[in-house]
Every structure is written in structure tokens, then in C-alpha cells.
Amino acid sequence: MRTFTLRPRSGLLALIIATALVASACSATGNGSTTTTSSATTSTEPIDYAGSDPAPEFPPDLDWINVPEPLTLDSLKGKIVLLDFWSYGCLSCIEAFSDLDRLQQEFPEELVIITVHAGKFTNERETDNIVAAVERSRITYPVINDSEYAIWSDWGIREWASLVLIDPEGNIVGGQTGRNPYDIVQPVVAGLAAQFADTIDRTPLRAAPAIPPRPVGTLSFPGSVAVSGSDLFIADSGNNRIVRVNKTSGEVLTVYGTGTAGLINGSPQEAQFDSPQGLVASDDGTVLYVADTNNHVVRSINLETGDVTTLAGTGEIATTPALALLDEVRLSYPWGLTILDGVLYVAMAGMDQIWILDPTQNIALPAVGSSQQGNINGPLSQAQLAQPSGVTFSPDGLLYFADSQSSAIRWADTGNDAGRTGTVSGPPNDLQDYGDVDGIGAEAHLQHPMALVWDTINSQLIIADSYNSKLKTINIETFLTTTWLGGEQGFEDGDTPAFWEPGGLAIDGGVLYVADTNNHAIRVVDIETGQTSTLVLNGLENFPVAN
């Protein structure tokens, strides 16, 4: 795609500001990201920020979200327009929204941000699913569902997390791809705002409809569940809190977190989380560990006192993996958690790795993955992972993980100094090969699996094939993947249940608990019969979410 190409007003000198691609950008070609060398030439002449080529108009008849009626680029002349190409399962894309928010706050009258959703996965191209993702991530910008990649093709986009700027006369200024776009894009927007100060249309767009709050006493996009003794713990991710209930009666015992997104330790009534995901209890059941995903930390909850503390992470996102002390390490979107002999294993989705957190030794370090996004097996430190989300151990100590962006279930021999990784379900060496096919090993096709647990009774893995809205089983002796429950997404109990992007699993003997994320519900499955019910939470209305 074009880079930002700026010209002195004489038109004699070209200045390419940057196209800075960073590691782990979501790549349409599945090869991670590339880097384009930046160059700069000084000149005493004022820079011309205006584009020269007209921007192609949006195709008609596309679904729009967050606007009362479809927008056109022609109607937006007079505004600086920033197009953001994204896919809701791509963490690089989600991370970029914080920079977009900064730009919008800095240029509230001059700038219009339009997000073009071009789903990587088939499931991500359905408007209902995009609406759910917009609500989950609280995105307020206009969103176009570019389900057939029409806009993507018109603009020659090659990577997700790509941005394109259009000047107030409707001409293309240039583009940038990758994480953390603010520092590159902001000077160009500021230059356009100054150059077109006399002609910019400062009339605000009609406000996007407010994202409605969930009804009092309900969950919001629960991402994970964990069982310890008689208690079930729920990551009420959309409400930024952890809910503790009796696993049988559904009685709400305690809620940890105010519901306001933040990073605050303290009592259950004082603590704050930000979209917590993975949960796991300590071996003795006295501590609950929480992957506080959007805070880039792992928290611990003392289940006797209720106090919430930070176990690992500073709250600043990591850019490179490095061994460090727990209170000094930087993490990046920790997601799934599991524990073995007191040591935590973390699916570090933002770094495409599995990490170890050892409270006894007070260290954090990468255990699996090179931090280069991909779907390549090999020695632990050289293997390439793609946004791992769920982790679990089998009784023989082999680590299994749901590698969501590669649509595969993989394993890692972390107990061996010469350990390697392998794949039990899904094609290896490919980030684009996904689907919904049962079969053995590479014959099986999944679609963005998010969670998995070990079923001791049947000696098998149970996985949440999230974007297929199904639960599946994997026989680890034969590598046979078989659909167990689910089909068309929906919300049905009984012996033919329906789910909607289930994101978390926990097992308790012959009972499976499912965080049915987009249905805002916890489902309870009898593993022997498949009979499914929905857990009724009694008393959650007594713990309102703070505004």
C-alpha cells in the first residue's frame, strides 16, 4: 500500500515519513510482518500534506454499524478521513484502537475515523458477530462490514491493522500498517488540519448510538471459567470483574472488582480489572490467578481474605520478550492460564508465546515460541505460535494449547530440555487454512479455537472451537477430532445445544462448564449424555456494575 508521501509545495521533493510495521502484526499472507525503511529529507520549503489521487468511493449495499445511515466519502469532503482496516480476532487491530482514540480526542472536529472490518475468518464476516465484537470492545466509530473484501481490494490492502488517510478534498494522502500508529499518523493529521484550516468542515457527525449496558444482574461476554472445590469462578470480562458462585446452586458468593476498567488492587469492592480472561486456582485452592488481559498483568486473589494483588506485570505492554522478576516484567495480552506444580503457564497471546510465571523463584520467562507469529513446529524456543489462547496439561505433563490464529490445537513438551512442539488437530505451517471438518491430525479443520480442557474420565481433550460455535473432542492417541456438541450458532439447551463463540471451559469430574461468551451465559454440560443447561445466577443483581 502507499506510504505517507509528502511534498514541499513546489512539488520538487518527496518525503516518505514512514511505514513502520512491527512484529506480530496480523498478516493477510500469514508471514507475520515486514519492515519498510523510513527516509526523511530536510527542506526549508513548507510541506504539502495534500494527496493527489482521488480516493475510491465506498461500494453501495454494505452493512454499516454505529451510524444511522451509510456514509460516503463524497459527503465527508471537508473532513480528514482515516480508514482503519481490522478484523476482530486480531489483537494488533484491537490494540490500535487506543491510538485511534487519542487521535480522535486530539482532532474532534477535523477528523473522522471509519473502521473497515474485513474478517479473516468466515465467522468474522457475519454482521451479527461484528456487532457483538463492537459491543465487546466498546467501539464507537462507524464500522463497515467489508465481508467480500471489496474496499480492501480497492485500496490494495495487504495487512490487517492498516490505516489510510484521506485529505479534506477527498484525495489519498497515504497509509501505515502495524501496531502503535499514533506517533506516525499524528503529525500528518496535524499537518492536514493546519494546511486546510480555512476549509475544514467542523460540523460533527451525528453521534453513534450509545452501546447499551447489559441488564443489571447479568454477565457480559464471559471469557473464562474455573472450578475450585464447591466454587465456580467466572471471568465476567465485559463487566471487568470476577464472579464467584456456588457451582451447584448458582448462588453468587462474592464479586471481585467494581466493574470499572482499571488496574487497582485491594478488597473485592475496591479492585479493578480490565477485560480479565483466563482463570486458574492454586493447587491448594487458596488463591485464584487471573489473566487481566487488557492490563497486561496477572493478578492473584486471596480466596480467604478476598484481597486482590498483582502477581506479575507492570501494566505496560511488552514489545520484546525477556526474562525478568515478576514485578518488573512486561506482559502482552495474557489470556489462558494453567498450573503445574505451583508454576503458572500463561498463553501470552500478544507475544505469540507461552510463558512461565514462577512465584517461588519470583521470575517470569518465555517457555514456548520465538515471538514470531506463525504456525511452525520445532524446538521450544524456535517454534512459531499465533495468538495462543487456551492452555492445559494432560496427566503425563504434556502441555496442550489452543493456537487461535492458526486454528490448531498444538502441544509442547515443556518438561524436557530438548522439548519440541507439535500439532494434534489442524494443518501445520499455515495461518489461513481453517474450516469445520472432523478428521485425523491435519485432516481436521477448526476455526479460531479459544479454550481446551483435559477430560480425565474419557482420556481426551475437549476444545471450544469458538468461531464454529462448537465443542469438539480430540483423542490424543489417534489424533481424531470429532464434533461433540453445537452447530449453527444460537442459544439452546437440551441434548442438541447451541452456543455462540464459546471462549472458556472448565471441567469438574463429569461436568463441563462453558463460558458461552456471546450469549452472556455459563452453560453446564453433562459429559456422559451431552445434556446442556444454563446456570442461573442467583443474587448477581446485588452487585451492580459501577458506571
- List the CATH number of the domain containing 160: 3.40.30.10
Domain count across the chain: 2
Which grid cell is 292? 487481566
Higher pLDDT, 41 or 254: 254
Lowest pLDDT segment from 1-10, 270-279, 308-317, 409-418: 1-10
- Quick check: 487 and 498 in contact, CB under 8 A? yes
C-alpha 540/C-alpha 349 separation (Å) is 30
State the Cα–Cα distance between residues 207 and 22, nearest whole angstrom. Answer: 33
| Collapsed DSSP state (helix, strand, coil) of residue 383 | coil
Query: Phi-psi category of 31—alpha, beta or left, where left has phi over 0 and alpha has psi -120 to 50?
Result: alpha
Confidence of residue 28 (pLDDT cuts 50, 70, 90): low
What is the distance of C-alpha 339 from the center of its chain? 22
Mention every residue, 6+ apart, whose C-beta is less than 8 A from residue 410: 377, 385, 400, 401, 403, 421, 422, 423, 424
Strand partners, 256: 242
CA distances from residue 277 to 144, 212, 233, 337, 528 in whole angstroms, order as listed: 28, 22, 11, 9, 28
pLDDT at 444 over 80: yes
Residue by residue, DSSP assigns 119-135 as -SSGGGGSHHHHHHHHH
Mean pLDDT (whole number) for 48-65: 95
The phi, psi pair for 322, rounded to 5°, reads -160, 140
Is position 346 within any domain?
Answer: yes
Of all residues in the chain, the percent with pLDDT exceeding 90 is: 86
**What's the domain range around 191?**
5-195
Secondary element (H or E) of residue 473: strand 470-475
Who's near 153: CB < 8 A, 6+ residues apart?
none
- Name the CA dihedral angle for 161, 24, 124, 405, rounded to a multiple of 10 degrees: 170
In the DSSP assignment, the letter for residue 315 is S
| Angle (CA) 359 365 369, round 5° | 135
Average pLDDT of the chain to the nearest whole number: 91
CB atoms under 10 Å from CB of 92, counted, come to: 25
Q: How far apart are CA 186 and CA 194, in angstroms?
A: 12
Q: Find the mean pLDDT for residues 340-359.
A: 98
Last residue of a domain, one of 129, 163, 195: 195
Residue 475 covered by a domain: yes
Identify whether the C-beta of residue 372 lies closer than 8 Å to the C-beta of residue 32: yes
Is residue 33 predicted with pLDDT exceeding 50? no
* Residue 369 region by backbone torsions, left for phi larger than 0, else alpha for psi between -120 and 50, else beta: left
For 106-161, write each residue's pLDDT tens digit.
999 999 999 999 999 999 999 999 999 999 999 999 999 999 999 999 999 999 99
**Dist. CA 385–CA 369, nearest whole Å:** 6
Dig out the grid coordinates for 321 from the structure: 520478550
> In this predicted model, which residue has the larger pLDDT, 235 or 44?
235
Q: CA neighbours within 13 Å on the CB side: how many for 398?
A: 16
Say if 285 falls within a structural domain: no
Percentage above 70 pLDDT, the chain: 91
Q: Is residue 246 in some structural domain?
A: no
Q: Is the pLDDT of residue 38 over 70?
A: no
- Distance of alpha carbon 84 from alpha carbon 79, whole angstroms: 16
Please indicate, yes or no, if residue 387 is contained in any of the structural domains.
yes
pLDDT band at 27 (very low <50, low <70, confident <90, very high): low
With respect to residue 106, please indicate whether it lies within any of the assigned structural domains. yes
Q: What is the number of other CB atoms lying within 10 angstroms of the CB of residue 54?
A: 12
Domain boundary among 166, 195, 224: 195
Written as nine digits, the cell of 487 is: 452447530
Q: List, for residues 372-393, the tens digit of each pLDDT value.
A: 999 999 999 999 999 999 999 9
* Helix, strand, coil percentages, rounded to 5, for the chain: 15, 35, 50
Contact 383, 389 (CB under 8 A): no
Last residue of some domain: 149, 169, 195?
Answer: 195
**Domain presence at residue 375:** yes
- pLDDT band, very low/low/confident/very high, at 44 (cuts 50, 70, 90): low
Q: Looking at the domain assignment, is residue 210 inside a domain?
A: no
In angstroms, rounded to a whole number, what is the distance separating the alpha carbons of residues 116 and 399?
37
**Amino acid 546: pLDDT:** 81
CA atoms within 13 A on the CB side of 23: 19
Q: What CATH number corresponds to the domain at position 460?
A: 2.120.10.30
What's the angle, vertex CA 92, arms to CA 86 and CA 29, rounded to 5? 70
